Amino acid sequence: MKIILPSSTAPLRRLSRMLKGKAYSEARFFIILDENTYQHCLAPLVAQVEPLQMSELIEVPAGEAGKEPAIAAQVWESLCESGADRHSVIVNLGGGCVSDLGGFVAAAFKRGVRHINIPTTLVGMADAAIGGKTALNIGGFKNQAGFFHQPDIVCIDPEFLQTLPPDELTDGVFEMLKTFLIAGSDLYGPLCDSMLGVNPTLPPDMIAACAEIKNAVVKADPYDLGTRHILNFGHTFGHAIEAFSLQQGTPLSHGRAVGIGMAAALALSVGKLGLNAAIAERYREVAARLTPMPHYSLADSENILRFMRQDKKNAAGEIRCVLLKEPGAPVIDLAIDENEIRQALLRL
Site of interaction with Zn ion (CB under 5 A): 258
What is the Cα–Cα distance from 246 to 287, expressed in whole angstroms? Answer: 20
Which of ligand NAD, Zn ion, none has residue 36 at its interface (CB below 5 to 8 Å by kind)?
ligand NAD
Residue nearest ligand NAD (C-beta atom)? 96
- Pick one of 7, 9, 53, 163: the residue that binds ligand NAD (CB under 6 A): 163
Q: Which of residues 37-76 bind ligand NAD (CB under 6 A)?
A: 37, 40-41, 62-64, 67
Q: Count of CB atoms within 10 A of residue 128's CB?
A: 27
CB of 276 to ligand NAD, least distance (A): 28
Alpha helix ranges (H) inside the chain = 11-19, 35-40, 42-48, 69-81, 96-108, 122-123, 166-183, 188-196, 204-220, 235-247, 254-273, 277-290, 298-309, 338-346
Candidate segments 30-38, 75-83, 105-113, 318-326, binder of ligand NAD by CB under 6 A: 30-38
Identify which of residues 157 and 171 has a Cβ nearer to Zn ion in the complex.
171
Residue 19 binds what, of Zn ion, ligand NAD, none (CB under 5 to 8 Å, by partner type)? Answer: none
CB closer to ligand NAD out of 40 and 110? 40
From 100, 152, 157, 242, residue interacting with ligand NAD (rule: CB under 6 A): 100
Among 14, 114, 115, 133, binds ligand NAD (CB under 6 A): 133
7 binds ligand NAD (CB under 6 A): no
Q: How far is the CB of 213 from Zn ion (least distance, A)?
A: 14
Smallest distance, ligand NAD to C-beta of residue 26, A: 28
Q: With contact defined as beta carbons under 8 Å apart, do 101 and 72 qualify?
A: yes
Positions 237 through 256 that interact with ligand NAD (CB under 6 A): 254
CB 289 within 8 A of CB 295: no
- CA dihedral of residues 165, 171, 177, 180 (deg, nearest 10): -90
- The b/e string for 15-36 (b: 16+ C-beta within 10 A; e otherwise) is bbebbeeeebeebbbbbbbbeb
DSSP per position, 234-284 = THHHHHHHHHHHHHTT-PPPHHHHHHHHHHHHHHHHHHHH---HHHHHHHH
Q: Applying CB under 6 A, which residues contact ligand NAD?
A: 34, 36-37, 40-41, 62-64, 67, 94-98, 100, 120-121, 123-124, 127-128, 131, 133, 142-143, 160, 163-164, 168, 171, 254
